[in-house]
Amino acid sequence: MCGIVGYLGPRETVQVLMEGLRRLEYRGYDSAGIAVFHGGKIEVRRAQGKLTILEEAIAGESLEGRLGIGHTRWATHGRPSDDNAHPHKAGSIAVVHNGIIENYLSLKKVLMEKGHVFNSETDTEVIAHLIDHFHREGLPFDEAVRRALGEIKGSYALGVLCEKEPDKLIAARSESPLVVGLGEGELFIASDTPAVLTYTRNFIFLEDGEMAVLSGGKVEVLDLEGKSIPREPKRVMWNPLMAEKGGYKHFMLKEIMEQPRAVTDTIRGRISEDRSEIVFEGLDTDEKMVKEINKIALVACGTSYHAALVGRYLIESLSRIPVEVDIGSEFRYRNPLVDEKTLLVAISQSGETADTLAALREGRKRGARTLAICNVVESSLSRESDYTIFTYAGPEIGVASTKAFSTQLVILYLISLFLGKRSGHIDHPHMEEFIGELVKLPHLLEEVVREHKEIERIARKYVHAKNFLYLGRGINYPIALEGALKLKEISYIHAEGYPAGEMKHGPIALIDREMPVVALATRDDTYEKVMNNIEEVHAREGRIIALASQDDKEIASKVEDVISIPPTISALTPMLLTIPLQLLAYYIADFKGNDVDQPRNLAKSVTVE
Ligand code: F6R
C-alpha cells in the first residue's frame, strides 16, 4: 500500500531513496518524504502529492549523508497533507511506517499526558514518540524500539533512525512486508524488492515479529525478546530491467504486451514431456490430497477474484470437485462451510492483500488445507499456505492488474487438469488435446497483441462515453466483469459487467446511443444466446463493440466495431478476450489524459482491511 525504502552506505543517500520511492510509488502516492542523516542531524523533507513535488522541494539542497529512510504514503489515518506525510520525527527519532496501529489513540493520550506534542493526525507519529519516550528514559536505541513494539497493536513495517546513532537503521515487521537488501558494503530496506533491485538481488525477508538492526555493514535479525535469529539471505530471480518501462509510455501497456512471455514462463516446466501430466512441485508428491478433499474454496479480491470465478468453471468441469468462490473480505463473515476436507485456494498477485490473508487464516482455523496462487516469492500468503504455486508474471508495477491475471488463469487451467487427472475425470486423449491447445496460447496471445492499433482506433471513438456495459456468458462472464473493472479503475468511466442472459432482467432499460455495450461473442456453446442479446441491443439503437471469432463474418452487420479473436477451444477463450479488454481500457484512459499507472484513490497492494 504505502512504500518504504531505507539506505545505509556510501552512495548519495537522497538519490538512492528518491529512486527507490519512484519504483515504489505505485504502492501509494498521496504524499512522500525522506529523512536523511546530514551534518549530525536528521533532516526531514515531506510533501503532499506526487513524488515530483518532493523532488522540486529538495532540488538545489545539498542533503549529503550515508543513512536515510523514505516513504510514499496512501492515506489511512489522517488526510493527505505535508504534516501527515512520513517520516515522522519525535525528539531524536524518525520513523516511516506501513500498516495501521490499532491502539494509537490510547497510546497518544498517555504520551500527551507525559508532555509529548503531536504534529499530525496519523497513527504513525505515536510510534516515533513512543520510541523517543523509551530512549529518553535511558534505553539504548535498539531496546527502545523493542519496548515500543511491545506496546503497539496492529500491523507495521517500520524503518527507524535515531539522531544519536549515525550508523544504525532499524527495521521491523508485523503483518506488513519488509525486506533487507544486502549489497557490497551497503544495506537497504524496502517494502518491496523492486525498490532496490538495481543495487542487489540478495534479500533477507523479515517475518512477523522480527526486527533487523543494520549497522557497521552488518545485519542482525532479532525477535521481540531480543534473541538473535540466524537468517540466510535469498537471491531473487527478478532482474532490475523487469521493473523498468522498457520504452513503453506506461507500465500498464508494457505489462499488457508482456503477457505472451509471462504465460510462457508460467507454463514452462509444469507439463510433462509426453503431455500426460501436470507437474507441481510439492503438490504432486501429496498423493492423498486429491483423494481426501471434497470441496474447493477459492478466495481472492478484485481482479484476482475474477480469475477465481473463471477457476470455478474450469475446476468443476474438468475435475467434478465442487467449488465455491468468495470475495476475500466477505468469506469470514458468512460462517463458511469449510473443514479439513476443503482445499482453500487463495489467489493474489501481491500475496499481501489483507482481506485475502484474513480469509486464508479463517480457512486454516477451520482445518482446511491451503494453497496460494501468488506472484511474489516470500509474500505473506505464500508463507502461510501449505502449498504455493507461483505465477511467473514478473514484477507488476501498473496499479491495474493485467499480466498477473492471465498468469493466474494459466495456473487455474493447470490446477484443473491436475485435479482432473488425479480424480480420474480426464482421460489421456482429452488431457493431451487440452494441453496441446494450452501450449499454443503464447502464439495466440501474440496475435491478439498485434491488434493493438485497431483497438486504439476503436478506443478513440468511445472516449467521451459516460457509461459502459460489458456482457459475457458462461466462462466469459467473469471476463466481462474484469473488462468493466479495468475500464472504471483507470478511465473513471462507470462500467458494469453482466451475464448476458441477465440483460433483459434490468440493464436493457439503460440501452441507448449513449451507452456502448461490449459483447463477448466468440463461437462457443453460448454464442447463439449472446447473438440474441446483441440483436436486442441493436434493435434499441445501442452501440456495440463485439469481441468475436476471426471466422465470424456475419457479426459485423449487427455491431459498430469488431475485435477479432483467433480460434481456440472454448475453455481458453477467457485468455484471448482479456487482452483486448485491457487494451481498450488502457487506450480510453490514456486518451482522457489520465495517469494510467497510478489511478486516483487506488493502491497496488491493499494491505489494510
Ligand atoms: C485491479 C486490481 C485489484 C487487485 C486486488 C487484489 O486491477 O489490481 O483489484 O486485483 O486489489 O490484489 P492481489 O491480487 O494482490 O491480492
**Residue 160 in contact with residue 125, Cβ under 8 Å?**
no
| Contacts of 214 by beta carbon, 8 Å cutoff, 6+ apart | 6, 8, 168, 169, 170, 171, 180, 187, 189
Cell of 64: 549529503
**Strand pairing class (467-472; 494-499):** parallel
Other CB atoms within a 10 A radius of the CB of residue 298 amount to: 27
Statement to judge: residues 57 and 168 lie in one domain: yes
pLDDT confidence tier of residue 154, bands split at 50, 70 and 90: confident
Q: How high is the pLDDT of residue 230? A: 94
User: Is the same domain home to 121 and 196?
Assistant: yes
Report the nearest-CA residue for atom 9 of ligand 1. Answer: 302
Whether 398 and 309 map to the same domain: the answer is yes
**Burial per residue of 146-161, b for 16 or more beta-carbon CB atoms within 10 angstroms, e otherwise:** bbbbebbebbbbbbbb
As a whole number, mean pLDDT of residues 371-381 equals 89
- Report the percentage of the chain scoring pLDDT > 90: 76
Which ligand 1 atom sits closest to the C-alpha of 301?
6
Pair (269, 234) in one structural domain: no
| Mean pLDDT of all residues in 457-466 | 96
Residue 45: predicted pLDDT = 97
DSSP character at residue 508: G
Tell me, what's the pLDDT at 237?
80
Do the domain assignments include residue 131? yes
Ligand 1 mean position, distance from CA 349 (Å):
7
Give how many domains the chain has, as a whole number: 3
| Whole-number Å distance between alpha carbons of 440 and 60 | 55
Q: Band the pLDDT of 229: cuts 50, 70, 90.
A: very high
Mutation test residue for ligand 1: of 27, 74, 304, the one with most atoms within 8 Å of CB? 304
Binding pocket residue ranges, ligand 1, CB within 6 Å: 301-304, 348-350, 353, 356, 400-401, 485, 489, 605-606
User: Do 430 and 512 fall into the same domain?
Assistant: no
Q: In this structure, is residue 598 part of a structural domain?
A: no
Distance (Å, whole) CA 577 – CA 561: 15
608: in domain: no
Q: What is the pLDDT of residues 386-403, one digit of tens each?
A: 999 999 898 888 989 999
Q: Which atom of ligand 1 is nearest to the CA of 605?
A: 15
Classify residue 548: in a domain, yes or no: yes
Find the 303 Cα to ligand 1 centroid distance in Å.
5
Q: Which atom of ligand 1 is closest in space to residue 302's alpha carbon?
A: 9
Res 34 pLDDT > 90: yes
Q: What is the pLDDT of residues 544-591, one digit of tens each?
A: 999 999 999 999 998 999 999 999 999 999 999 999 999 999 999 999
Q: Give the per-residue pLDDT at 377.
A: 77
Domain range spanning residue 550? 451-591
Average pLDDT of the chain is: 92
Residue of 74, 192, 256, 303 to test ligand 1 pocket, by largest number of atoms within 8 Å of CB:
303
Last residue of a domain, one of 217, 244, 271: 244
Q: Are 293 and 207 in the same domain? A: no
Q: Count CA within 13 A, CB hemisphere, residue 105.
A: 3
Residue 596 forms part of a structural domain: no
The alpha carbon of 302 and the centre of ligand 1 are apart by a number of angstroms equal to 5
Q: At what angle do helices 124-136 and 141-151 cross, to 10 degrees?
A: 130
Domain stop point among 386, 411, 439: 439
Q: In this structure, is residue 66 part of a structural domain?
A: yes
Is residue 440 part of the annotated active site? The answer reads no
Give the CATH number, domain containing residue 409: 3.40.50.10490
Q: Are residues 131 and 221 in the same domain?
A: yes
Task: Tell me: pLDDT of 525 over 70.
Answer: yes
Percent of the chain with pLDDT over 70: 98
CA–CA dist 235, 27 (Å, integer): 23
pLDDT in tens, 313-343: 999 999 999 999 999 999 999 999 999 999 9
pLDDT of residue 27: 60
Structure confidence by residue, pLDDT tens digits, 409-456: 999 999 999 999 988 899 989 999 999 999 999 999 999 999 999 999
* 491 and 555 together in one domain: yes
79 and 217 belong to one structural domain: yes
Examine the domain organization and report whether 226 and 267 are in the same domain.
Answer: no
pLDDT tens figures, 470-485: 999 999 999 999 999 9
Residue that the C-alpha cell 503531536 belongs to: 118
Give per-residue pLDDT as tens, 5-21. 999 999 999 999 999 99
End-to-end CA distance of the chain: 11
Tell how far the Cα of 30 is from the centroid of ligand 1, in angstroms: 19
SS3 for 386-433, per residue? CEEEECCCCCCCCCCCCHHHHHHHHHHHHHHHHHHHHCCCCCHHHHHH
Q: Is residue 367 part of a domain?
A: yes
From CA 346, how far away is CA 357, in angstroms rounded? 8
What does the alpha-carbon distance between residue 547 and residue 409 come to, in Å, rounded to a whole number? 19
pLDDT digits (tens, 9 = 90+) for 59-113: 989 899 999 999 998 777 778 899 999 999 999 999 999 988 889 999 999 999 9
Q: Is the pLDDT of residue 151 over 60?
A: yes
Q: Is pLDDT of 28 > 60?
A: no
374 in active site:
no
Band (pLDDT 50/70/90 cuts) for residue 48 is very high
Q: Are residues 381 and 457 in the same domain?
A: no
Last residue of a domain, one of 244, 269, 288: 244
Q: Does residue 305 form part of some domain?
A: yes
What pLDDT, on the 0 to 100 scale, is given for residue 26?
62
* 174 and 72 both lie in a single domain: yes
Q: What is the pLDDT of residues 497-522, one digit of tens each?
A: 999 999 889 888 888 989 999 999 99
Ligand 1 atom with the smallest distance to the CA of 404 is: 14
The secondary structure of 278-315 as a DSSP string is B--TTTTT-HHHHHH--EEEEEE-HHHHHHHHHHHHHH
- What's the gap in Å between 260 CA and the centre of ligand 1? 20
